Amino acid sequence: MSRSANSESLIQVHDRTFRPYIRRDEVMEMVRDVATQINRDLAGQEVTLLVVLKGALVFAADLMRQLQMPVTLEVLRASSYRDAMSSTGTVILEDVVPDVVGRHVVVVEDIIDSGTTMRELIKHLGSYRPASVSVAALLSKPDVHQGGIQIDYVGREIARDFVVGYGMDYAGHGRHLDAIWIVDDALDT
Ligand code: IMP
Ligand code: MG
C-alpha cells in the first residue's frame, strides 16, 4: 500500500526516518508548471528529453505526457551519490551520450544538489553540437550549488536537507514513494 504525505506519520527508508515534505498533489502542480513553461518556450520545436536515470524516471514519465510538441526520448545513467546522503563529487556517466546533434535537448533531472552532475553532463553534451540545451529539474538546492549552474526550469527550490520519493532514493530505497519525504533529524542523530 502506498503512503501519502497527507498523513502525519513517519516512515522508515532503509536505516533512516523520513517525514512528509511535498504532497503528491503539490508535486503534480510543480510538474504542470514546468511543462507549461517548456510548452511555451519550445512551442513548434521537436524536443529531445534526455532523462538522467535513475532518479528522474518518475518525473520524466509525468512531464513528457504534458508536453504538446513532438518529443523524442533518450536516457543516460549518471550518478555522483553512492548509497549515501552526500555527494562524492565524482560524476559517473554510465553510458555513451546519445546522438543529440542538431536537437533541442531538455535534460530532465530529479534534483540538483552540488550541481556537479549537471555541469559535467552539460559539458559533455556541448561537444555533440545540439541545437539547444536546457535543464529541467524537479528540485534544486540553491544553498548547496550557490547558483553556479544552469537550471532553466525548476519545480521548487528547497533547503539542503536530504529527500526521498517520486524517483529519488536513499541508498537505493524509496524511489517508489508517490510523494516526497524529508529526512527527520529529530529522531536521527
Ligand atoms: P549533484 O551532482 O550534487 O548536483 O547531485 C545530483 C544527484 O544527486 C541527483 O541527480 C540525485 O540523484 C542525487 N541527489 C541529490 N540530492 C538528493 C536528495 O536529497 N535525495 C536523493 N538524491 C539526491
Ligand atoms: Mg539523479
pLDDT in tens, the chain (189 residues): 444 444 469 999 999 999 999 999 999 999 999 999 999 999 999 999 999 999 999 999 999 999 999 999 999 998 665 556 766 665 666 667 788 999 999 999 999 999 998 998 998 899 899 999 999 999 999 999 998 899 999 999 999 999 999 999 999 999 999 999 999 977 654
Q: Is residue 115 lining ligand 1, measured as CB closer than 6 Å?
A: yes
Residue 10 lies in a domain: no
Q: How much distance in Å is there from the Cα of 112 to the middle of ligand 1?
A: 6
Q: What is the pLDDT of residue 65?
A: 98
Residue 87 lies in a domain: yes
Residue 2 lies in a domain: no
Q: What is the pLDDT of residue 148?
A: 83
Q: What is the pLDDT of residue 98?
A: 85
Measured by CA distance, the residue closest to atom 8 of ligand 1 is: 81
Q: What is the reported pTM?
A: 0.91
Residue 56 lies in a domain: yes
Q: What is the pLDDT of residue 7?
A: 47
Task: Identify the active-site residue in 62, 110, 113, 169.
Answer: 113
Q: Is residue 140 lining ligand 1, measured as CB closer than 6 Å?
A: no
Domain count, the chain: 1
Cell of 14: 532503509
Q: How much distance in Å is there from the Cα of 38 to the middle of ligand 1?
A: 23
Residue 141 lies in a domain: yes
Q: What is the pLDDT of residue 8?
A: 63
Range of the domain at 97: 22-183
Q: Hey, which bits of 23-122 come out as E strands?
A: 47-53, 71-81, 87-93, 104-112
Residue 6 lies in a domain: no
Q: Which amino acid is at 120?
A: E
Residue 121 lies in a domain: yes
Q: Is residue 165 lining ligand 1, measured as CB closer than 6 Å?
A: no
Q: Which amino acid is at 100?
A: V
Residue 11 lies in a domain: no
Q: How much distance in Å is there from the Cα of 44 to the middle of ligand 1?
A: 32
Classified as helix, coil or strand, 33 is helix
Asked if 63 and 136 count as a contact pair (C-beta separation under 8 A), the reply is yes
Closest approach atom of ligand 1 to CA 54: 12
Q: What is the pLDDT of residue 4?
A: 47
Catalytic status, residue 113:
yes
Asked if 167 and 59 count as a contact pair (C-beta separation under 8 A), the reply is yes
What CATH number corresponds to the domain at position 126?
A: 3.40.50.2020
Measured by CA distance, the residue closest to atom 17 of ligand 1 is: 162
